[in-house]
Every structure is written in C-alpha cells, then in structure tokens.
Amino acid sequence: MNSKWSQLARHMQDNGVQTLLITDPKHIYYLTGFLSEPHERFLAAAMTLGQEPVLIVPALDEEAARAASDTMHVYTHEDTDNPYLVLSQALKGSAGTIALEKNHLSVTRFEALQEHLTFARYRDIGPWLQDMRVRKSPEEIIKIKHAVDLIEKVLQEGVSKVREGVTENELVAEIEYQIRRLGADGPSFDSMVLFGEKTALPHGVPGTRALKHGDMVMFDIGVYADGYASDITRTFSFGEPSPELVRVYNTVLEANEAAIRAIKPGVSFASIDLAARRVIEDAGYGPYFMHRLGHGLGIDVHEYPSIHNQNEDHLQEGNVFTVEPGVYIPNLGGVRIEDDIRVTADGVEVLTSYPKNLTILE
C-alpha cells in the first residue's frame, strides 16, 4: 500500500469509515498510476479498512492496469457482466459507512451501488482528496514541468505561423497539430486563439476572424502530459498597437509580476489576488478585470485552490497554480498574461519561462 492509500486509511479510521470508493479516472490515476478513460464502462478503486485496495477495471484494460498497478489486486468485468456485482465480491458485500466521490458519482450509479453493497451511511471523500492534492510531490512537479515545457514549444510553433490574413481557427488547428507532434497526451482544454476586438472576451471562441495589422493576438493553451496539465496565456500585437493597448499591456504585466512577488508560504490566496488587482485598479482598469487571479493546476487543469480575493486559506509549499491577470475593454481588445507557478519553502518558482514583455509580430 503506497503512502497515499495509507493516508486515506488514516482518514477512514479517524472518521468511522469502513469502505472507500474512488470512481473519478483522474483520482484512480493519482492513487494507482493507472491512467484510463473508461467511457461508459465502470472503473473504480476501492478499499475496505484493514485490507489492501482493489482495482475494478473493464476486461479490455486488464493488462494495462496490472502493468501500471502491479501492487494492486485487479478485478475485471466483461461488457456483459454486472460490474457492481464484481465490486461487491471484491469488497465481500458489506460496506458499513462508505466514503465516495459525490462530485463524480451519478445518481444512477449510486442506486446501483445500493443494490449490491450494504451501507447505511455515506460521506464525501472530496475534501480528503483535495487536501492531499493541494501540495504536489517532487514527482508531480517533474510531470507538471514537462507539460509546461511542451506547451511552451507548442506556443513557439504557433507564434511562428502568425501572418496577415490567417484565421483564428487556422492557428488553433496548428496548435492542436503541434500538441500531438511534440508528444503531449492532448490539450488540457479547448485551445483558444483570438484576434483584435475578440481578445476582450475572456472566454472567447475562435472562429473565422482573419488577422490584420494593429490586432492584439491572444493564445490561451495547455496540454496534458503523463496525466498532468499545463496552462499558459500570452498576448502579442500584430503590427504596432495603439497607445491605449500598450498601456493596458504594461498594466497587466505589472499586475502579473506584483502577484508573483507576493507569493510565499503562509500568505493568503486573497492577498496575492489583491496585489494584482490593486495595480489594475490604480491604472483605472479595475472594472475590466472581472475574473479571479488564477486556479490550481495538477491532474485537472482547474482544481483547488481558487485564487480570488475572498479565499483566506494560506499558501503552502508545494502548491501549484496559475497567475493570470487580465484587462478586457469591449470594442478595443484585451490582454491576459498567465504563468504557472509553484510555492517553494521560501518563496516561488515560476515554471513558465516564455517571454512576457510586449512582442510585436510582423
């Protein structure tokens, strides 16, 4: 049993839980090393207190599951089997109080569990997993750095294809191609490339808008690699930008750097959001920064913590999250600059290294 399962076993003992059930494929990967997308098939990791954990997988994944999790007891089910019966047999039928993932388990599957396991009470395992995931191990940091390295290479390839008349969708297609060519598992979210006035849309949708001189160009892209995500945003100008957009850019860059300077263990997440927000407000752009400063990054591209000015939780060594202030002015354009960072024992390491000073593309 690895240290993560031992930590969960302690939670079970402290909280009167007899059975643990994990159904989110990302959490199964986090706990077992087995990474799979089961689609509609049943996939679970489970543990009865005092026993070794078990892995229940579709039969077609048996070989991969055993290779990835050679210390786990692996049970399989064919497409014609009842996987909940297999689970019941693996757990000896009785569950006592069960801890499960309320955010992931559907009502249909919960009802199926009730038919095959005997439990009177259930509780949410989500907070336990959140507490474990919020501090990344050295091994996790290595994987995140690899994902960051890949996305920066993808970004460089995408920027090299910027030319007058190219469309947003054409650059998105280039990004998606480079993600696969350079060896990532896939994008960590829908790749976003926006031009001109569309850069004022924080979650704009790329389309057939063609690039012309004077446009701002925003790339917001990320990849998964070895199960871990990266996320970067850089904004450029195609040709000489207007003086107002230069001022917006420099304000956002100053806000990004102010937030990073404020990061160290023990300070609140609210305080680093406010460090960036004050810069933008002092420049007169406060109403145009309408989202949080950033979000946690790991096996999900958006995970805890949420970095906003109401989060009084304290930063800890091993936290990994984004810092992405932005200013978005309708009918003019927007700027966002996003870095991936980790909290160290005495400060911060910025994982992204792509240049941030305003670059004019021609």
- Tens of pLDDT, residues 108-153: 999 999 988 888 899 999 999 999 999 999 999 999 999 999 999 9
Q: What is the pLDDT of residue 274?
A: 98
Residues 79 and 31 in one domain: yes
- At residue 93, the pLDDT reads 66
Choosing from 97, 114, 133, the residue where a domain stops is 133
Express as a percent the part of the chain with pLDDT over 70: 99
**Domain encompassing residue 43:** 3-133
pLDDT at residue 24 above 70? Answer: yes
Same domain, 43 and 82: yes
Residues 47 and 193 in one domain: no
* pLDDT tens readout for residues 235-278: 999 999 999 999 999 999 999 999 999 999 999 999 999 999 99
35: left (phi over 0), alpha (psi -120 to 50) or beta: beta
Using alpha carbons, select from 245, 166, 178 the residue that is nearest to residue 207. Answer: 166
What local confidence, expressed as pLDDT, does residue 19 receive? 94
Shared domain for 274 and 352, answered yes or no, is yes
- Given 133, 166, 189, which residue is the final one in a domain? 133
DSSP 105: -
The string of pLDDT tens digits covering residues 57-115 is: 999 999 999 998 766 899 999 999 999 999 999 988 667 899 999 999 999 999 999 98
Residues 95, 153 within the same domain: no
44: left (phi over 0), alpha (psi -120 to 50) or beta: beta
For 337-346, how does the pLDDT look when each residue is reduced to its tens digit (9 = 90+)?
Answer: 999 999 999 9
Does residue 91 sit in the same domain as residue 226?
Answer: no
pTM for this prediction: 0.94
The 3-state DSSP class for residue 203 equals: coil
Mean pLDDT of 35-54: 93
**Angle formed at CA 145 by CA 142 and CA 148, multiple of 5 degrees:** 155
pLDDT digits (tens, 9 = 90+) for 170-225: 999 999 999 999 999 999 999 999 999 999 999 999 999 999 999 999 999 999 99
CATH of the domain at 21: 3.40.350.10
Residues 90 and 149 in one domain: no
**Residue 2: predicted pLDDT:** 82
pLDDT tens-place string over residues 315-360: 999 999 999 999 999 999 999 999 999 999 999 999 999 999 999 9
Residues 154 and 120 in one domain: no
Q: Strands 54-58, 73-77: parallel, antiparallel or unpaired by DSSP? A: parallel
CATH of the domain at 159: 3.90.230.10
What is the spatial distance between Cα 237 and Cα 217, in angstroms, rounded to a whole number? 6
Are 48 and 19 spatial neighbours (Cβ–Cβ below 8 Å)? yes
HEC secondary structure over 108-162: HHHHHHHHHCECCEEEECHHHHHHHHCCCCHHHHHHHHHHHHHHHHHHHHHHHCC
In this prediction, residue 275 carries a pLDDT of 98
Please indicate, yes or no, whether residues 243 and 188 belong to a single structural domain of this protein.
Answer: yes
Closest CA to 168 of 211, 108, 105: 211
Q: What is the per-residue pLDDT for 104?
A: 94
Residues 339 and 231 placed together within one structural domain of the fold? yes
Could you tell me which residues come within 8 angstroms of residue 210 by beta carbon, excluding any fewer than 6 positions away?
Answer: 165, 166, 167, 195
At residue 110, the pLDDT reads 93
pLDDT at 252: 98
Residue type, 152: E
Q: Which phi and psi (to 5°) does residue 142 adopt?
A: -60, -40
Mean pLDDT value of segment 289-300: 98
| Averaged pLDDT, 284-308 | 98
Amino acid identity of 13?
Q
Choosing from 78, 113, 133, the residue where a domain stops is 133
Same domain, 50 and 188: no
The stretch 9-31 carries a mean pLDDT of: 95
Q: Are 98 and 119 in contact (CB under 8 A)?
A: yes
Q: How many structural domains comprise the chain?
A: 2
Give percent of the chain above pLDDT 90: 93
Burial class (CB in 10 A: 0-12, 13-18, 19+), 306: middle
Q: Are 73 and 90 in contact (CB under 8 A)?
A: yes
Instruction: Give yes or no: residues 129 and 209 share one domain.
Output: no
